[in-house]
Chains A and B, each alone.
Chain A
Amino acid sequence: MKDFIIPWDETDKGTPAKTGAPVTLTIDGFAVTVPEGTSVMRAASEAGIQVPKLCATDSIEAFGSCRLCVVEIEGRRGTPSSCTTPVADGMVVHTQSERVRRIRRGVMELYISDHPLDCLTCAANGDCELQDMAGVVGLRDVRYAPGENHFDVRQNGEANPRYTPKDESNPYFAYDPSKCIVCSRCVRACEEVQGTFALTIEGRGFDSRVSPGAGFDDFLSSDCVSCGACVQACPTGTLQEKSVIELGTPTRSVVTTCAYCGVGCSFRAEMNGDTLVRMVPAKGGKANRGHSCVKGRFAWGYANHRDRILNPMIRDHVDEPWREVSWDEALSFAARRLSAIQAEHGRRSIGVITSSRCTNEETFLVQKLARAVFMNNNTDTCARVCHSPTGYGLGQTFGTSAGTQDFDSVEQTDVVIVMGANPTDAHPVFASRLKKRLRAGAKLIVIDPRKIDLVKSNHIEAAHHLALRPGTNVAVVSALAHVIVTEGLADEAFIAERCDDESFADYVAFIRDPRHSPEAVEALTGVPAQELRAAARTFATGGNGAIYYGLGVTEHSQGSTTVMGIANLAMLTGNIGRPGVGVNPLRGQNNVQGSCDMGSFPHELPGYRHVKNGDVREIFERHWGVEIDPEPGLRITNMLDAAVDGSFRGIYIQGEDILQSDPDTRHVAAGLAAMDCVIVHDLFLNETANYAHVFLPGSTFLEKDGTFTNAERRINMVREVMKPKNGYADWEVTQALANAMGAGWHYSHPREIMAEIAATTPSFAGVSYELLDRMGSVQWPVNEEHPEGTPMMHVDGFVRGKGRFIVTEYVATDERTGPRFPLLLTTGRILSQYNVGAQTRRTDNVVWHDEDVLEIHPHDAEQRGVTDGAWVRLASRAGETTLRAKLTERVSPGVVYTTFHHPETQANVITTDYSDWATNCPEYKVTAVQVACSNGPSDWQEDYAAHAAKARRIEAAE
């Protein structure tokens, strides 16, 4: 096995890259040209000369504390530190001389005098910059006599007062103060890269120590979010991954893509043989630029969890225990059942659900299974329940179903709207990049019912927080547009050049009406009119304006209308088609974008082309040698309805847990229970598997080749870093199922599937694994016009030609509060957990969040006699559950909030079957509820737990 050759330069150049006019200088006689503002250290590195350093690293600004990087510059006095000295034209630098050698040795000697010399048994042995620098500067002896230090546990027979024991409170890394050289790299990484400011240097002079939070805090109790940036920045073994302490330093690395959220961070999977030792964010990753969050960096232990199922299983009825069988037996059992259903109930009686967690190639095959083997269009994907309105709304207005920018764009934005999204929890690496820009002066407008962290946290504060009542998104967005139009703030030139005249005239006539004014809708939305007006002015006049939004926009009865309203806002203010602006949906899962691109929706073939179009069907019919059904298929909710009606009886679900993640759990359960063949293809016996007849074990993202497409349309490589523990990658399992039904597929590698995608889908025409290996990643469309991809969309014109304004009338949801259910429930995510928690619940991330809690305003709590931590009953017209209450002013009075990470809570028992008018995306974000004190689990929870335990039995091997 050989290392994958990293497609970019990972050398630590010491200080960050700059942009500016070219400056030429001479370093050790070599001429080098770099942008103005670059440090001498970085310029030297560009010339291939590494100046010794300890406190500098190129993810953070220079600090100039270690003095190891001193150089001599002709015509300047003394020995300046190369990290803090900017280059100048004609500068002549010498990085080596007797004088600087002597200084560097002296510096190292001082450092080593207060550092334990246990290198051979240190976890950082071989991966330690202090060790490397001692070698580079030629340190041969330490002349200082043993004295006061921070590393001896005992001195002179007594406890050493300067010694601090290891802090092992964080489950993933240890902090060993005895090895610390106080370079402040961790403190600066926490500030500059992550933006959390959890770390500080406590004490002065020789007493200085790194400290998390206040004096009484350890890493776990501090503000630390466990992103790993400090561990990454630490040049010694002071901050060290526990996995490295346990398993040893890795010996090879493979670049791959994180399988959690839609940011799509690039990582180096660092391995010993086939054992994963650690995941390190890759500096060349264009989505994350070397940063990570607690999930991608640390929460990969689920891949080896004992709950993982590695053998196929079947059963005739769901009340029987599972029987482990061979792959052949499981697949022929499944194929037999599916074929029998079709023979009896027609070809449209079965379908598939593709996974937004699997690769593009796997998703493509699953929808192909429906269209070319089942011969129907009954394919849907979990994007149905999150971003389907984005597809519809942006398609109608701009002509394409995707975000307009890359993440780098945030570095050039001046005013940001974050609507219905909570990036610090759900898209943490993007949030760090956003916060960095906010600290540099960009303004922020938060539109969210909750006081999310971005509203106010360390060194950032939103200029405006429009804390709207759930369900009134359209009214708020229209009111913003009303202010912009009536106050003459619209970008008339942009609209005249780029947008459709007629639709704009209609829109202006509509939006000017005083009924859309902030004053008119204030009583409805709960947003003070003056605040809303001020926000509209800030956005329209503040420079580059960018809109980022999440599921708080889409998961409503008017989700699609809000997306169109957001597109209207961007067009009105001319914020499309250049860096720093745009409309940017933040995608929940790693491959939501990709699963949509790959034709997972029942009405669209890959590339967002409707199945009614004969010319599009013909392309696939030619490749697949079958006739494609011209009628749209069933969406997930429709499948479940049809199942209850008896006309839909078999389903193959790859990597999704609809029972836990989809709304109105009772309805989902009824639909699944009514089917004759439910095939679950997953890592674990998830909740849906309680109703399954066939279980096909899945493979993790570490065990297969393929691609994920992130929220910025970036196609990233996923690489097989170890062989599938279950024996087969997921695409192989789908192929085997198809072949068991007589398909005759013979893909031998995912690259062949990508070739088929490229051959059939214009926006992927130029994509190949060779291109991805060479470029690292590309953003679609990739075609003749854009052979290396398209970082920014709609630059010279919209994909549909002229941008189309759409009238967005507010229609109240039918989910209304009343005497029985007076509060509004809205749902979301937390940083440490991911979606239904199937992965993160099986990692140490549970130390941060081991149960879902109900956030309730103290006022509402007091009225109900609810105290902090008390069990409460949460009921809606759909069902009821119990969980613990958390009193907080993050939610407004009248609004309660919870997460849906834990199956015990069953938050979706509460949510209803209302959905977006255009796409059936469920209205998760608005449910009328009542909260009351409770003694413990509801009847449903007890029944469910009993049923789940019974459904998970596996027959003992004979």
Chain B
Amino acid sequence: MSPDKMVHMANQIAAFFKTQPGGGQAEKLAAHLNDFWEPRMRAQLIAHVAGGGAGLDALVLDAMDHLNAPAA
């Protein structure tokens, strides 16, 4: 997937969870990615963040601590 598309998709998800009341937005966002993003998509996101995470919403970066790293 093109990095732009991935960043766009991740930021869209962040845009939803940011508006949700209560705490734990980063956990909720990570849970969504764990539930719906196939391992290689999550791996691409992790790699993108490792490379600086250009373009990603701050909430996506916060969520990375809770993202399940796919088994190799």
Task: Choose from B9, B32, B34, B39 the contact partner of A348 (Cβ within 8 Å).
Answer: B39
Q: Is A602 a contact of B19 with CB atoms below 8 Å? A: no
Known contacts being A348-B40, A610-B35, is A641 close to B1, with CB within 8 Å? yes
Kindly specify which of A66-74, A143-151, A914-922 makes contact with the partner chain: A914-922
**A647 to B41 Cα, complex, angstroms:** 11
Q: Is A603 a contact of B19 with CB atoms below 8 Å? A: no
Kindly specify which of A129-137, A707-715, A719-727, A807-815 makes contact with the partner chain: A807-815
- Nearest-neighbor residue (CB-CB) of B15 within chain A: A811
**A641 to B6 Cα, complex, angstroms:** 10
A890 at the binding interface (Cβ < 8 Å)? no
30 contacts between A and B (CB under 8 A): A348-B38, A506-B22, A509-B21, A510-B21, A557-B12, A603-B35, A612-B34, A631-B39, A631-B70, A632-B37, A632-B38, A634-B38, A634-B41, A638-B1, A641-B1, A641-B5, A642-B38, A645-B1, A647-B40, A806-B20, A807-B21, A809-B16, A809-B19, A811-B15, A811-B19, A814-B8, A914-B8, A917-B13, A917-B15, A919-B36
Q: Is A632 a contact of B35 with CB atoms below 8 Å? A: yes
Q: Is B35 a contact of A612 with CB atoms below 8 Å? A: yes
Known contacts being A814-B8, A915-B9, is A638 close to B15, with CB within 8 Å? no
Task: Choose from B1, B8, B34 the contact partner of A642 (Cβ within 8 Å).
Answer: B1
**A524 to B21 Cα, complex, angstroms:** 25
Question: With a CB–CB cut-off of 8 A, which chain A residues contact B35?
Answer: 603, 610, 612, 632
A633 at the binding interface (Cβ < 8 Å)? yes
Task: Choose from A807, A811, A915 the contact partner of B20 (Cβ within 8 Å).
Answer: A807
- Whole-angstrom distance from the CB of B12 to the nearest CB of chain A? 4
- Which chain B residues (16-72) contact chain A, with CB distance < 8 Å? 16, 19-22, 32, 34-41, 70
- Whole-angstrom distance from the CB of A461 to the nearest CB of chain B? 37
- Nearest-neighbor residue (CB-CB) of B16 within chain A: A917
A913 at the binding interface (Cβ < 8 Å)? yes
- Which chain A residues (568-621) contact chain B, with CB distance < 8 Å? 602-603, 610, 612
Question: With a CB–CB cut-off of 8 A, which chain B residues contact A506?
Answer: 21-22
Task: Choose from A641, A914, A918 the contact partner of B36 (Cβ within 8 Å).
Answer: A918
- Which chain A residues (896-922) contact chain B, with CB distance < 8 Å? 913-915, 917-920
- Whole-angstrom distance from the CB of B2 to the nearest CB of chain A? 8
Pairs A-B, 8 closest by C-beta atoms: A809-B19, A917-B12, A641-B1, A506-B21, A634-B38, A811-B15, A631-B39, A917-B13
- Which chain A residues (463-518) contact chain B, with CB distance < 8 Å? 506, 509-510
- Nearest-neighbor residue (CB-CB) of B12 within chain A: A917
Contact indicator per residue, chain A 778-800, by CB within 8 Å of chain B (1) or not (0) = 00000000000000000000000
Q: Is A631 a contact of B1 with CB atoms below 8 Å? A: no
Q: Is A913 a contact of B38 with CB atoms below 8 Å? A: no
Question: With a CB–CB cut-off of 8 A, which chain B residues contact A915?
Answer: 9
- Nearest-neighbor residue (CB-CB) of A814 within chain B: B8
Question: With a CB–CB cut-off of 8 A, which chain A residues contact B9?
Answer: 915, 917, 920
A561 at the binding interface (Cβ < 8 Å)? yes
- Whole-angstrom distance from the CB of B50 to the nearest CB of chain A? 18
Contact indicator per residue, chain A 373-406, by CB within 8 Å of chain B (1) or not (0) = 0000010000000000000000000000000000
Task: Choose from A510, A561, A632, A633 the contact partner of B16 (Cβ within 8 Å).
Answer: A561
A-side interface size class: 20 to 34
The total of chain B residues at the interface (CB under 8 A) is 23
Looking at chain A's contact residues, the main secondary structure is loop
- Nearest-neighbor residue (CB-CB) of B42 within chain A: A631
Q: Is B1 a contact of A918 with CB atoms below 8 Å? A: no
**A549 to B40 Cα, complex, angstroms:** 34
Looking at chain B's contact residues, the main secondary structure is helix
**A90 to B11 Cα, complex, angstroms:** 74
Contact indicator per residue, chain A 919-953, by CB within 8 Å of chain B (1) or not (0) = 11000000000000000000000000000000000
- Nearest-neighbor residue (CB-CB) of B18 within chain A: A809
Q: Is A807 a contact of B19 with CB atoms below 8 Å? A: yes
**A915 to B10 Cα, complex, angstroms:** 12
**A631 to B37 Cα, complex, angstroms:** 9
- Whole-angstrom distance from the CB of A871 to the nearest CB of chain B? 33
Question: With a CB–CB cut-off of 8 A, which chain B residues contact A610?
Answer: 35
- Whole-angstrom distance from the CB of A654 to the nearest CB of chain B? 21
- Nearest-neighbor residue (CB-CB) of A808 within chain B: B19
- Whole-angstrom distance from the CB of A502 to the nearest CB of chain B? 8
Q: Is A603 a contact of B12 with CB atoms below 8 Å? A: no
Given contacts A348-B40, A641-B2, 10 further A-B contacts (CB under 8 A): A603-B36, A612-B35, A633-B38, A634-B38, A642-B38, A647-B40, A807-B19, A807-B20, A809-B19, A811-B16
**A838 to B46 Cα, complex, angstroms:** 42
Question: With a CB–CB cut-off of 8 A, which chain B residues contact A645?
Answer: 1
Question: With a CB–CB cut-off of 8 A, which chain B residues contact A806?
Answer: 20
Q: Is B38 a contact of A602 with CB atoms below 8 Å? A: yes
Question: With a CB–CB cut-off of 8 A, which chain A residues contact B39?
Answer: 348, 631
Q: Is A632 a contact of B40 with CB atoms below 8 Å? A: no
- Nearest-neighbor residue (CB-CB) of A346 within chain B: B40
- Which chain A residues (689-703) contact chain B, with CB distance < 8 Å? none
- Whole-angstrom distance from the CB of A192 to the nearest CB of chain B? 46
**A642 to B13 Cα, complex, angstroms:** 20
- Whole-angstrom distance from the CB of A853 to the nearest CB of chain B? 32
- Nearest-neighbor residue (CB-CB) of B21 within chain A: A506
Question: With a CB–CB cut-off of 8 A, which chain A residues contact B20?
Answer: 806-807
Known contacts being A348-B39, A638-B38, is A913 close to B21, with CB within 8 Å? no
- Nearest-neighbor residue (CB-CB) of B10 within chain A: A917
**A809 to B12 Cα, complex, angstroms:** 12
**A807 to B17 Cα, complex, angstroms:** 10
Question: With a CB–CB cut-off of 8 A, which chain A residues contact B37?
Answer: 632
Q: Is A632 a contact of B8 with CB atoms below 8 Å? A: no
- Whole-angstrom distance from the CB of B33 to the nearest CB of chain A? 10
**A891 to B68 Cα, complex, angstroms:** 47
**A811 to B15 Cα, complex, angstroms:** 8
Q: Is A642 a contact of B15 with CB atoms below 8 Å? A: no
**A644 to B70 Cα, complex, angstroms:** 21
**A578 to B20 Cα, complex, angstroms:** 30
Q: Is A913 a contact of B70 with CB atoms below 8 Å? A: no
**A914 to B40 Cα, complex, angstroms:** 20
- Nearest-neighbor residue (CB-CB) of A809 within chain B: B19
**A186 to B18 Cα, complex, angstroms:** 58
- Whole-angstrom distance from the CB of A512 to the nearest CB of chain B? 13
**A691 to B43 Cα, complex, angstroms:** 29
Q: Is B38 a contact of A918 with CB atoms below 8 Å? A: no
Question: With a CB–CB cut-off of 8 A, which chain B residues contact A647?
Answer: 40
Question: With a CB–CB cut-off of 8 A, which chain B residues contact A919?
Answer: 36
**A644 to B1 Cα, complex, angstroms:** 8
Q: Is B32 a contact of A918 with CB atoms below 8 Å? A: yes
**A635 to B35 Cα, complex, angstroms:** 12
**A561 to B38 Cα, complex, angstroms:** 22
**A603 to B70 Cα, complex, angstroms:** 15
**A811 to B12 Cα, complex, angstroms:** 9
Question: With a CB–CB cut-off of 8 A, which chain B residues contact A635?
Answer: 36, 38
- Nearest-neighbor residue (CB-CB) of B13 within chain A: A917
- Nearest-neighbor residue (CB-CB) of A647 within chain B: B40
Known contacts being A811-B15, A811-B16, A814-B8, is A642 close to B40, with CB within 8 Å? yes
- Whole-angstrom distance from the CB of B71 to the nearest CB of chain A? 8
**A510 to B22 Cα, complex, angstroms:** 12
Question: With a CB–CB cut-off of 8 A, which chain B residues contact A510?
Answer: 21
Question: With a CB–CB cut-off of 8 A, which chain A residues contact B34?
Answer: 612
Question: With a CB–CB cut-off of 8 A, which chain B residues contact A644?
Answer: 1
- Whole-angstrom distance from the CB of B23 to the nearest CB of chain A? 12
- Which chain A residues (81-98) contact chain B, with CB distance < 8 Å? none
**A603 to B33 Cα, complex, angstroms:** 11
Question: With a CB–CB cut-off of 8 A, which chain A residues contact B13?
Answer: 917-918
- Nearest-neighbor residue (CB-CB) of A507 within chain B: B21
Of A378, A509, A809, most B-chain CB atoms within 10 Å: A809
**A799 to B72 Cα, complex, angstroms:** 38
Q: Is A918 a contact of B16 with CB atoms below 8 Å? A: yes
Of A632, A809, A811, most B-chain CB atoms within 10 Å: A632
- Nearest-neighbor residue (CB-CB) of A378 within chain B: B38
Question: With a CB–CB cut-off of 8 A, which chain A residues contact B41?
Answer: 634, 638
**A645 to B19 Cα, complex, angstroms:** 33
- Whole-angstrom distance from the CB of A481 to the nearest CB of chain B? 15
